[in-house]
Amino acid sequence: MAYFDFTDRVAIITGASGGIGSVVARAFAEQGASLALLDISEELLEPIYTELKEKGCDCITAVCDNTKEEDIKAAVEKTVEHFGKIDILLSIAGGSGGGKVEDMDQDYWDNTMAFNIRGAMQLGKYVVPHMLERNYGRIVLTSSVNAVFGEKVDPLVRTGYCTAKAGILGLTLAMGTYLGKYGITVNAICPGVTDTPQPRNSLMKYPPFEQWYNDHNPIGRIAQPEEMVTTYLYLADENTSHTNAQWIVVDGGFTKA
């Protein structure tokens, strides 16, 4: 059997311009996949789109705000119109929501839920029917180490983000358990702290955090985006047909130490 061969497979990638999303897009393109690259603006998508097109990847872009159902619906329709099918959904877009519960603003809470858990659900709403038509699909959602680990230090408490990312695990379980019989697997990845702009602009602004994290991580450092790639490839592979309704924590052992 050919492993990690995505020739003739069509994948939607949300957050495709981001730190993890862009390296995942490159990896799937290198393995032969055709790609629909989704993010919140064409300006953000242009560099990765141009790079992959120049390398021969059949790819399109679609502007998609994860909080807007109409954007998600239109992006899925554009993908099917161009490629005729969807084999793989890689839901990577997401955003942090900080603050303690007693200080939580309702609009901020609602937006955090919309961007993370509601966006993932609505992607499933519009992608799954196309997978059901063909009795095949691989859905990989992106949760976080914060689904299973909450910060105790005041500047780092992220009630909304932890809640939303834990919800991704519930969605993974709920979808995977009924879609598996149709040849559709649903799994999630829980990245630990990864060297991308989002943590650099949030967690890393609290000076002691990175040293504390490194001291408590068996690997001794935060992750690089490239270290997430093979987990996405594995869960999206055609031969990964008996891994379903699961989540994999990719954190260097931080949550086990």
**Which residues pair with residue 39 across a beta bridge?**
63
What is the Cα–Cα distance from 140 to 247, expressed in whole angstroms?
Answer: 9
Query: For 194, phi and psi rounded to 5 degrees?
Result: -125, 145
232 labelled catalytic = no
Residues 118-127: b if buried by 16+ CB within 10 A, e if exposed: bbbbbbbebb
Angle between helices 69-83 and 119-134 (to 10 degrees): 30
Instruction: DSSP letter for 145, please.
Output: G
Q: What count of Cα atoms within 13 Å lies in the side-chain half-sphere of residue 118?
A: 15
| Contact by Cβ (8 Å): 36, 10 | yes
Q: Of these residues, 49, 126, 136, 161, which one is catalytic?
A: 161
Q: Six-digit token pair at 207?
A: 């000076």
Q: Report the catalytic residues.
A: 161
